[in-house]
């Protein structure tokens, strides 16, 4: 093992080059501090993972894809860099009792969600559904209840028996403040954002090392030593302050397992307790490219005068891939399958061929066309198993029952030496989002600068 240093030890070491780490490193660098960012992967972006489809030179998102609403953390950056952002439009179709028809349940789902009250004792969403919707006066039928359950499970990638009503209410309030019901995409995918931060790091002369896996953090007040390894062996980096931006489940993973970090001394009990009140959602997604937009010619039974040419989203109760979406407003022969929670558990760890075959069968069943026809149209698939990725171990975080204040505890610095950022530490209700991660990075950068005053 060697002691590795720059010309001098940096003022701050940032662990993780996801959205939070990149935002913090750029902010600290532009504030005049010397910054070193260590990233385990051979790329930056973390759970932002954009590839390019060679046939159409189109962005393929294997991680974050949508901008939810108009958060300043993203829109300001895109405006300053002249990045084109397109709003997602089109029709939503639903498969109900084997029939494909335009969706008509959204209002009822909203009414059910509006019944949640964070002034009452916290409970899981599943418990809430069992008593809130039993009253026939409200008019909530079983199907509306099932759709509400599917929405919370799908949107948050959450276990409905774990996710807390208080956390869901705070999330809904936060979305309401930024028009969160609207969805957008950057023209070139989230790679546009990664490139913005790459340039900002360069402008700030902030050092970045990819392929450096952090194994141990030894910390005390005003001094931290970080042990990491790369293909050449282990190195030790020193700084007065370290910002940890690792995904929630990586922080939870015991030392000695792939991607995990040993803290010496161990994180205090209150920090560990907060970690256990926040959970990592599970998702498998697959992106399929076809020869043509074959759904342009699909006319659901009972809707002979209308095709799926303007389909944006497709919802069902399918046990494998209950949600699909197209590339609208771009009219590309590309469609994405979304498998949250139990569906992800069924698929995670399976071979790529199994996931792709299962996705084709599920899509064929939902669109009521033959699997053979779909396979003849199929050209390529893109897939990443985030649960089996040792540097993510899941999709994004959500609060469990009793999680009130957990994000704030996770975010709190220790001894003016260890600081924390990442979407799981966002205290504004935007957990699980890119803008929440960026906001947490800016917040941690401010805390570091204040600690120097």
Separation in Å, CA 56 to CA 22, 51, 165, 330 = 29, 12, 42, 11
Dihedral sign, Cα of residue 452, residue 21, residue 432, residue 173: positive
User: Both tokens of residue 381?
Assistant: 């698939």
Of 359, 364, 360, 336, the C-alpha closest to 346 is 359
Tokens of residue 142, six digits: 């079983």
The angle that helices 165-176 and 142-156 make with each other, rounded to 10 degrees, is 80
pLDDT, residue 299, reads 86
**Which has the closest alpha carbon to 423: 392, 380, 447?**
392
Nearest by Cα to 47 from 283, 257, 262: 283
Burial group, residue 82, by CB count within 10 angstroms (0-12, 13-18, 19+): exposed
Return the CATH fold of 2-47+190-280+398-452. FAD/NAD(P)-binding domain (3.50.50)
Dihedral of alpha carbons 394, 399, 405, 406, sign: negative
| Residue 369 CB-density burial (10 A; 0-12 exposed, 13-18 middle, 19+ buried) | middle
Rounded Cα gap, residues 345 and 348, in angstroms: 5
DSSP letter for 203, please: H
Picking from 388, 373, 417, the residue whose alpha carbon sits closest to that of residue 244 is: 417
Q: What is the pLDDT of residue 3?
A: 54
Q: 325 forms bridges with which residues in the sheet?
A: 313, 336
What are 350's two structure tokens?
């399976």
pLDDT (0 to 100) of residue 133: 74
Each residue's pLDDT tens digit in the chain (453 positions)?
Answer: 555 544 479 999 999 999 999 999 999 999 999 999 999 999 999 999 999 999 999 999 999 999 999 999 999 999 999 999 999 999 999 998 888 989 988 888 999 999 999 999 999 999 999 888 765 656 677 788 889 999 999 999 999 999 999 999 999 999 999 999 999 999 999 999 999 999 999 999 999 999 999 999 999 999 999 999 999 999 999 999 999 999 999 999 999 999 999 999 999 999 999 999 999 999 999 999 999 999 999 988 766 668 999 999 999 999 999 999 999 999 999 999 999 999 999 999 999 999 999 999 999 999 999 999 999 999 999 999 999 999 999 999 999 999 999 999 999 999 999 999 999 999 999 999 999 999 999 999 999 999 987
Q: Are 279 and 400 in contact (CB under 8 A)?
A: yes
- Measure the CA–CA gap between 247 and 391, rounded to whole angstroms: 8
Pick one of 3.30.70.3340, 3.30.830.10, 3.90.660.10, 2.30.110.10 as the CATH number of 50-69+84-90+282-384: 3.90.660.10
Is residue 29 within 8 A of residue 206, CB to CB? The reply is yes
> Where in the chain are the domains?
2-47+190-280+398-452, 50-69+84-90+282-384, 105-176
């Amino acid at each position: 093992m060697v002691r590795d240093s720059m010309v001098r030890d940096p003022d701050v070491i940032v662990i993780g080059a996801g959205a939070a780490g990149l935002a913090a490193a750029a902010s600290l660098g532009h504030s005049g501090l010397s910054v070193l960012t260590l990233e385990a992967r051979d790329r930056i972006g973390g759970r932002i993972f954009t590839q390019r489809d060679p046939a159409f030179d189109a962005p393929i998102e294997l991680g974050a894809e949508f901008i939810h609403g108009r958060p300043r953390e993203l829109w300001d950056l895109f405006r300053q860099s002249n990045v084109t952002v397109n709003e997602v439009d089109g029709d939503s179709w639903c498969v109900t009792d084997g029939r494909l028809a335009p969706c008509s349940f959204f209002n009822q789902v909203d009414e059910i969600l509006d019944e949640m009250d964070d002034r009452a004792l916290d409970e899981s969403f599943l418990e809430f559904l069992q008593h809130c919707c039993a009253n026939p006066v409200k008019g909530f039928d079983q199907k509306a209840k099932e759709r509400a359950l599917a929405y919370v499970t799908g949107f948050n990638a959450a276990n409905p028996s774990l996710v807390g009503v208080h956390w869901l209410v705070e999330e809904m309030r936060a979305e309401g403040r930024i028009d969160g019901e609207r969805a957008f995409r950057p023209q070139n995918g989230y790679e546009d954002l990664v490139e913005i931060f790459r340039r900002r790091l360069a402008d700030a002369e902030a050092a970045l090392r990819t392929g450096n896996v952090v194994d141990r953090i030894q910390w005390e007040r005003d001094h931290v030593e970080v042990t990491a390894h790369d293909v050449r062996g282990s190195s030790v980096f020193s700084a007065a302050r370290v910002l940890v931006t690792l995904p929630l489940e990586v922080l939870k993973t015991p030392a000695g397992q792939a991607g995990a970090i040993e803290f010496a001394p161990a994180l205090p009990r209150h920090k560990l307790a907060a970690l256990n009140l926040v959970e990592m959602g599970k998702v498998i997604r697959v992106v399929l490219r076809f020869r043509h937009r074959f759904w342009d010619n699909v006319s659901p039974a009972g809707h002979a005068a209308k095709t799926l040419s303007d389909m944006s989203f497709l919802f069902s109760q399918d046990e494998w891939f209950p949600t699909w979406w197209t590339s609208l407003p771009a009219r590309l022969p590309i469609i994405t399958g979304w498998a949250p929670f139990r569906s992800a558990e069924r698929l995670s760890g399976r071979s790529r061929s199994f996931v792709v075959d299962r996705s084709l069968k599920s899509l064929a069943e939902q669109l009521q066309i033959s699997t053979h026809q779909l396979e003849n149209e199929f050209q390529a698939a893109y897939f990443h198993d985030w649960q089996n990725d040792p540097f993510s171990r899941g999709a994004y975080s959500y609060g469990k029952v009793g999680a009130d204040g957990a994000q704030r505890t996770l975010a709190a610095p220790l001894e003016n030496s260890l600081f924390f950022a990442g979407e799981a530490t966002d205290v504004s209700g935007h957990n699980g989002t890119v803008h929440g991660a960026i906001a947490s990075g800016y917040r941690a950068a401010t805390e570091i600068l204040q600690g120097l005053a």
